[in-house]
Amino acid sequence: MEIKKGKELKSKYISRNSKFDYLPEHDRYLTARAKPKYKFNVIGTGNIGQEHMKVTMLEERGTIHGIYDTNTSSIEQAKQMFSTNFPGNSLVEYDSLEAACNDPEVDGLIICTPNYTHIDMVREAVKSGKHILLEKPMATTLEDAFEITRIAQNYTGIFQIGLQYRYKAIYVEAIHEALERKNVGDIKTISILEHRVPFLDKVNQWNKFAKYSGGTLVEKCCHYFDLFNLFAQSKPVHVHATGSMAVNFTEFEYNNEKSDIIDNAFVTVSYENGIQASFNLCMFSPMFLEEMILCGDEGRMKVSEQEDFLPNNLPRYQFELMRSDGKPSKVSTPSYPETIQQSGHGGATFYEHAYFIDNIEGKQTSTASVEEGFWSVAIGAAAEKSIRTGEVVYIEDLLKEHNVNLSKVVSHS
Ligand SMILES: NC(=O)c1ccc[n+]([C@@H]2O[C@H](COP(=O)([O-])OP(=O)(O)OC[C@H]3O[C@@H](n4cnc5c(N)ncnc54)[C@H](O)[C@@H]3O)[C@@H](O)[C@H]2O)c1
């Protein structure tokens, strides 16, 4: 018997609670799960590829149909993870990129290979016309990022970039308070800090070499430059950065090549609308701390995420809004339901998937467009250049130097 669904089924959190797994499917009313409508293939099944597999299944409207990876160990690991977590679901294993991109069963492709491969993955993937979720950074060079921007301009499927930090609960709150409610007034300065442990191991250690990753400020920090751009609501004019390889991987060699990535930096960015932004990175810290401070003409906001491995139960996420006299200030600990928050990147990857599917269904979302992906790479590339040359890098000059003419690209967002 088909059970009629009512309004009360809106909370997906109840349907995801494993406490109810003992119920036969026909008795799941309040806890009814969505039937998957979309099938996705994951290309690159390493660290984040497997996170995408898990959140796709958790989100419920989509399922993972198949996987492709050039590394047999990643494939085996992904298959094992999938059969353990989602028993009863089969997984197709493709023997070529072309086959993975062109399976008629599949609606979308989730590209999670190392940064330097993205351009080739995209060139092949777009031939399929399928929806694409491409991991950040979209490319390692401005030329490749521009080529992808131009390809995406005329693409009829969804083309989304995996800049999902904007969906961490702290930034969703910050967007709401600062951009929608304007509770710090006009934003004047943006400061972001990331202190963390060194880059983790990767398959073939691609993240230890700038030629494969784009350099630290492109690879990891494109997330923070995307947040700069989002909160500044303006275009960067010039970038100045200092940084060095002070502690990490100074002795590291792989295939007789020495690692060449920086582990600390100070980056400042000036925007067309006068907003000044600064970013501080330290990757030899014994803990994770990510913090953003916005100062406006009517208040100051600080949001942070901290993971320190100590037994104290400090809140992982914190939000603080201090406003001038007569206007309420507040502190809080923004969070998502536990299953979602623990599913990866504090729940941000889960919402990235939810909005990917919303995009496919024609709903309005605020996912990162290809142009936004481009601008996050542009600041990272400018900062890397500034460290190399010791000079202020004007974005206009940098774009010219790399033959990037953005006026040829009409907004795709
Ligand atoms: N959005 C985020 O927060 C986030 C987090 C982590 C990684 N990433 C991005 O995701 C991508 C992958 O990172 P990762 O941490 O999963 O790396 P990883 O090394 O753990 O996994 C990459 C996988 O891609 C496979 N691969 C390499 N070349 C391939 C090819 N030509 N064809 C098919 N598979 C290939 C490797 O064998 C490996 O299994 C990178 O672009 C990275 O920057 C994004």
pLDDT tens per residue, range 15-47: 777 888 899 988 988 888 778 999 999 999 999
Task: Reply yes or no on whether the pLDDT at 12 is more than 80.
Answer: no
Per-residue pLDDT band at 52 (split at 50, 70, 90): very high
| Domain identity same for 375 and 388 | yes
Alpha carbon distance, N-terminus to C-terminus of the chain: 43
Q: Is residue 234 part of a domain?
A: yes
pLDDT of residue 2: 55
**Is the pLDDT higher at 25 or at 126?**
126
Lowest-confidence region among 5-9, 114-118, 307-311, 359-363: 5-9
- Mean pLDDT taken over the chain: 94
Reported pTM: 0.95
Q: Is residue 357 part of a domain?
A: no
* Residues in contact with ligand 1 (CB, 6 Å cut-off): 43-49, 68-71, 74, 112-115, 117, 135-136, 162, 164, 202-203, 219, 345
Instruction: Give the strand pairing for 108-111 and 131-134.
Output: parallel
Task: Reply yes or no on whether the pLDDT at 67 is more than 50.
Answer: yes
Q: Which two tokens stand for residue 3?
A: 């059970």
Asked which of 118, 136, 164 is the last residue of a domain, the reply is: 164
pLDDT tens per residue, range 215-249: 999 999 999 999 999 999 999 999 999 999 999 99
CA of 21 to the centre of ligand 1 (A): 32
- Sequence length of the chain is 413
From CA 111, how far away is CA 92, in angstroms rounded? 16
Quickly tell me which residue has 């406003």 as its tokens: 323
Helix or strand run (H / E) with residue 281: strand 276-282
CA of 380 to the centre of ligand 1 (A): 19
| Domain identity same for 76 and 171 | no
| Domain identity same for 280 and 393 | yes
| CATH, residue 145 | 3.40.50.720
| Domain identity same for 244 and 216 | yes
CA nearest ligand 1 atom 38, residue: 46
| Domain identity same for 170 and 150 | no
pLDDT of residue 311: 85
| Domain identity same for 109 and 180 | no
From CA 398, how far away is CA 374, in angstroms rounded? 13
| CATH, residue 215 | 3.30.360.10
Helix or strand run (H / E) with residue 42: strand 38-43
Distances (CA, A) of 70 to 79, 136, 152, 274: 14, 20, 25, 46
**Is the pLDDT higher at 410 or at 88?**
88
Q: Is residue 351 part of a domain?
A: no
Give the structural domain span for 395: 165-339+368-408
Q: Is residue 348 part of a domain?
A: no
| Domain identity same for 47 and 169 | no
Asked which of 131, 164, 197 is the last residue of a domain, the reply is: 164
| Domain identity same for 146 and 128 | yes
| Domain identity same for 151 and 230 | no
Torsion of CA 392, 394, 397, 400, to 10 degrees: 120
Going by the DSSP 8-state scheme, the letter that residue 176 receives in this structure is: I
Torsion of CA 407, 409, 411, 412, to 10 degrees: -170
Per-residue pLDDT band at 4 (split at 50, 70, 90): low
| Domain identity same for 234 and 281 | yes
pLDDT tens per residue, range 269-326: 999 999 999 999 999 999 999 999 999 999 999 999 999 888 887 889 999 999 988 8
Q: Per the structure, how many domains does the chain have? A: 2
| Domain identity same for 118 and 219 | no
- What mean pLDDT is predicted for residues 75-98? 97
Task: Reply yes or no on whether the pLDDT at 134 is more than 90.
Answer: yes
Q: Is residue 225 part of a domain?
A: yes
Q: Is residue 389 part of a domain?
A: yes
Ligand 1 atom nearest to 352, measured from its CA: 1
Task: Reply yes or no on whether the pLDDT at 412 is more than 50.
Answer: no
- What mean pLDDT is predicted for residues 343-362? 97
Do you find a cis peptide bond into 137, omega within 30 degrees of 0?
yes
pLDDT of residue 413: 41
Q: Is residue 259 part of a domain?
A: yes
Task: Reply yes or no on whether the pLDDT at 190 is more than 60.
Answer: yes
Task: Reply yes or no on whether the pLDDT at 254 is more than 80.
Answer: yes
| Domain identity same for 381 and 297 | yes
Ligand 1 mutation target, pool 135, 205, 226, most atoms within 8 A of CB: 135
Torsion of CA 198, 201, 205, 211, to 10 degrees: -30
pLDDT of residue 171: 98
Task: Reply yes or no on whether the pLDDT at 410 is more than 70.
Answer: no
Ligand 1 atom nearest to 200, measured from its CA: 15
